[in-house]
Amino acid sequence: MSCCAPGTETAAELDALRTAGPAADEMAMASRDLGGGLRQCDLIVPAVHCGACITLLERELPKIDGVERARVNLSTRRASVVYRADGAEGRALAAVSDRLAALGYPAHLPGPDDEGGDPVFRELLKSLAVAGFAAMNVMLLSVSVWSGADAATRDLFHLISALIAAPALAYSGRVFFRSAWNAVRHGRTNMDVPISLGVILAYAISMYETLSHGEHAYFDASVTLLFFLLAGRTLDHMMRERARSAVRNLARLAPRGAFVIDAEGRREYRALAEIGPGMRVALAAGDRSPVDGIVLEGQGDMDFALVTGESRPVRVEKGTLVPAGTLNLTGSLVVEATRAAKDSFLSEMVAMMEAAESGRAGYRRLADRASAIYAPVVHLTALVTLIGWVVTTGDWRFATLTAVAVLIITCPCALGLAVPVVQVVAAGRLFEHGIMVKDGSAMERLAEANHVVFDKTGTLTRGRPMLVNADEVAAEDLALAAAIARHSRHPLSRALAASVPDAGGGRFEVEEIAGEGVLARAAPGGTYRLGRASFALPGGEAGASDAEGSEVVLSRDGRLLATFRFADDIRPGAPRAVAELAEAGLSAEIVSGDREPAVAALARRLGIATFMAGARPADKVARLESLRQEGRRTLMVGDGLNDAPALAAAHVSMAPASAADVGRQAADFVFLHDDLAAVPTALAISRRAGKLIRQNFALAIAYNAIAVPVAILGYASPLVAAVAMSSSSVIVVLNSLRLRRGFRPARVETAARPEGAAGYERPVPA
């Protein structure tokens, strides 16, 4: 009953079935005290996307007994639920979780490091507001001076400007002064050094001029400069924060705790950090294992895809080793932890990732490289101007004034905007296509890429099985099987159920036998069995071998009705994406942890000549390292936990939204749609952004080539400086905005429903 997504109800129901909301204990643990017996719990609700969703949730949630009020934030896609902590809150929270799922808004909890709010952004915005206020007023007074105010009036105006500018510089300039001071203290120089120096010197010399009744004061230049530069900074920060919060809002795949069974058989919810070796952990169907362990009791199927890259469910029974991060699909298991969470497979991957990341640390952002050349040149030019005028005229006052004018003119206003504006616009374009970029340097690195390495499962393929022989099976058998499959969470059952979307639930008495299949008793029809061949046909009918582990057999009273075959389907757009990347000049290869035949078949289908099968995480990193030594700049596209180190090691990396947490954090880009076309799109936009940045640099240099000689010769009056500075900034911004044209937004994906993805598109409200 999601508000305005007709036709997606069945999918939403299936999802709700699959991703049961967070447990009440977890929610209570994550909530905070508001005082007065009230507590607030923040939930991430990715499916919230319009006004009707807000109204619906804010109306429905407070109806639950114990819930005081609910507030939905559409920008961050969160819901804050305020409830009474009166002892019965467990039930209320469980009801909230269930109600959200039933309404079609599966919710999950934010991560522990995710506090919401952004103090840096607030500080930047406040600084920007103050600088804007000061710039406007000082400019007002300066215009009066330029248009002819003189003598006492001019001095008065200069004095008022000084009074406005002083607090504004002190408040808004902090961002730059701090960073410049840090750089100078460590013997380095960055873009902020000439900015700080220019602003402070301009203020000081103008103050001196004002007090000695001089004609020229540069108060307007120093505050406008600050305003423009702060605008660039704020935009830069906004872009990165937006992407970061969008990535944070994706469902966390690593559990934050689990039910531990103590010696007396009591179940207690414990946080991840408290689970140590030897503890017995209960895993219900749909839970991910929080730690590495050994199965003690029960049997079932587990999804190892995030760990090994292998798409087939693995059957587990007593004694099977279960790494952290694996998903229990059927049956309930009791697992004995063999290692604490901090020593788990997951943590090993994180350590490996950190080691691999050092390779990328060598990359310096374009802006940093530009400023490394720019800053010394600016300082040197100003110094030479000062010395030159002192030597030729002996007039210290004029020489200093001219040197400061040079500093102001060359102050990297256009340069400071050249990179962030383009990157903000580019990130906006990418966002429209469902691609999130972590930071600006990622786009620079992507533009340089000349080789692409794909993971197989979950990247080139969907990572979930699809029915492939639907047309060989009688329609009524398929409908019957789908109706039965609807009662199971096994991925093959879900694929079967999804292939007949309008099949009803059927009237069966259903029993799921973990690791085997589903037993359904219908009143007139007899007993149906859907599952492994050995389960559906207990007599052991020959010919129904289950070699690939991707067959499901439907039988009635022990007689074969139909056999369904599944295969991991290729991701939509994959062939086209590979072709487009080849056209863009990138060579491609596949590096997968899967078996050789599966990888070879896919490589053949996509026309990729080079591939590597059975690769362990370390092999993938080694492969990327050897590519680096060949001098290639590699784009890695992968999703699994086993890809995470490789994602960190690559020159630049991309991951789908369905990837493991660690993988998403390691990747520079995360794409939300199912379609692999995101990869060439991101490449095209990044390359175009790189081109515009270089154009902007050229514009800034051309401007300096004209303005600097004028300033050195002493003709840069405050008016000339103000006009030159503003016009160059405006030109650079306008040039950057050209990026908004040209790319059409991606078509709406109807099939795309990445697990818990934020911001996926839905049909437009009718």
Partner 1 sequence: MTNLLILIPVALFLGGLGLGAFLWSMKSGQYDDLDGASWRILDDGDDRPAE
Closest CB to partner 1 among residues 59, 616: 59
Annotated catalytic residue 455: yes
Q: Which is nearer to partner 1, 82 or 498 (CB)?
A: 82
Structure tokens at 650: 């690559």
Q: Does 90 bind partner 1 (CB under 8 A)?
A: no
Cα–Cα–Cα angle for 607, 611, 613, rounded to 5 degrees: 135
Nearer to partner 1, 16 or 64 (CB): 64
74 makes contact with partner 1 (CB under 8 A): yes
Interaction between residue 460 and partner 1 (CB under 8 A): no
Q: How far apart are CA 529 and CA 552, in angstroms?
A: 10
Q: Least distance (Å) from partner 1 to the CB of residue 682?
A: 24
Report the residue number, 59 or 369, with the smaller CB distance to partner 1.
Answer: 59
Minimum gap (Å) between residue 244 Cβ and partner 1? 17
Tokens (6 digits) for 476: 């009524």
Sheet holding 587-591, edge to edge: 435-437, 669-671, 652-656, 634-637, 451-454, 587-591, 610-612
Q: Pattern of binders to partner 1 over 125-144, x per CB under 8 A?
A: xx--xx--x--xx--xx---
Q: How far is CA 200 from CA 130, 205, 358, 512, in A?
A: 17, 9, 37, 75
Q: At what angle do helices 9-18 and 491-499 cross, to 10 degrees?
A: 170
CA–CA distance, 102 with 511 (Å, rounded to integer) = 23
| Cα 494 to Cα 488: distance, rounded to the nearest angstrom | 7
Stretch that binds partner 1, among 118-126, 463-471, 526-534, 621-629 (CB under 8 A): 118-126
Stretch that binds partner 1, among 4-12, 122-130, 207-215, 484-492 (CB under 8 A): 122-130
* x/- letters, 304..333, toward partner 1 (CB under 8 A): ------------------------------
Beta carbon of residue 759, minimum distance to partner 1 (angstroms, whole number): 11
The reply on whether position 765 binds partner 1 by CB under 8 A is no
Q: Give the residue from 471, 465, 474 showing the smallest Cα distance to 562.
A: 474
Q: How many CB atoms neighbour CB 58 within 10 A?
A: 14
> Least distance in Å: CB of 53 to partner 1?
9
The residue among 53 and 306 lying less far from partner 1, judged by its C-beta, is 53
Q: Is the Cβ of residue 3 or residue 405 nearer to partner 1 in the bound state?
A: 3
Supply the minimum distance, in Å, between the C-beta of residue 105 and partner 1. 15
| Least Å from the CB of residue 155 to partner 1 | 12
Report how many residues bind partner 1 under the rule CB under 8 A: 26
Handedness of CA 685, 691, 694, 699 (dihedral sign): negative
Assess contact for 678 and 671: CB atoms under 8 A. Answer: yes
Smallest distance, partner 1 to C-beta of residue 107, A: 17
**159 near partner 1, judged by CB under 8 A:** no
Choice from 2, 76, 196, 330 touching partner 1 (CB under 8 A): 76
Please list, in sequence order, all residues whose beta carbon lies within 8 angstroms of the beta carbon of residue 296, skipping any fewer than 6 positions away.
280, 318, 333, 334, 335, 336
Enumerate residues 199-238 that contact partner 1 by CB under 8 A.
none
Nearer to partner 1, 75 or 392 (CB): 75
Check 155, 287, 301, 455 and give the catalytic one: 455
Report the residue number, 118 or 357, with the smaller CB distance to partner 1: 118
In the shown chain, the binding pattern of residues 30 to 69 toward partner 1, with x for contact by CB under 8 A and - for none, equals --------------------xx--xx---x--x------x
527 strand-pairing partners: 521
49, 55, 60, 62 alpha-carbon torsion, rounded to 10°: 110
Q: Which stretch binds partner 1 (CB under 8 A): 70-78, 191-199, 387-395, 572-580?
A: 70-78
Q: Which CB atom, from 74 or from 88, has the smaller least distance to partner 1? A: 74
Distance, in Å, from the CA atom of 162 to the CA atom of 160, rounded to the nearest integer, reads 5
- 3-class DSSP assignment, residue 38: strand
Residue from 3, 61, 72, 96 binding partner 1 (CB under 8 A):
72
Shortest spacing between CB 76 and partner 1, in angstroms:
7
Beta strand residue intervals within 638-693, DSSP E: 652-656, 669-671
Buried b (16+ CB within 10 A) or exposed e, 617-639: beebbebbeebbeeebbbbbbbb
- Residue recorded with tokens 């840069």: 716
Question: Quick one: 160 or 719, whose CB is closer to partner 1?
Answer: 160
- Taking contact as CB under 8 A, which single stretch among the options 120-128, 245-253, 469-477, 527-535 is the one that binds partner 1? 120-128
Of the ranges 71-79, 503-511, 607-615, 647-655, which one interacts with partner 1 (CB under 8 A)?
Answer: 71-79
Q: Could you tell me how far CA 290 lies from the centroid of its own chain?
A: 23
CB of 74 to partner 1, least distance (A): 3
DSSP 746: P
- CB of residue 273 vs partner 1: minimum separation in angstroms? 31
Cβ–Cβ under 8 Å, residues 320 and 467: no
CA dihedral sign of residues 355, 356, 359, 364: negative
Can you tell me which residue has the tokens 């699809």? Answer: 466
Beta strands (DSSP E) in 710-761 are none
Q: What is the dihedral of CA 278, 279, 284, 289, to 10 degrees?
A: -60
- The SS3 call for residue 261 is strand
Closer Cβ to partner 1, 47 or 305, answer by number: 47
Please, are residues 464 and 490 in contact by the beta-carbon 8 Å criterion?
no
Residue 498 touching partner 1 (CB under 8 A): no
Closest distance of CB 743 from partner 1, Å? 23
Identify the three-state secondary structure at position 383: helix
DSSP assignment of 279-330, as one string?
Answer: -EEEE-TTPBPSS-EEEEE--EEEE-HHHH---S-EEE-TT-EE-TT-EE-S
Residues that bind partner 1 in the complex, under the rule CB under 8 A:
50-51, 54-55, 59, 62, 69, 72-76, 122, 125-126, 129-130, 133, 136-137, 140-141, 153, 156, 160, 164
Residues serving a catalytic function are 455
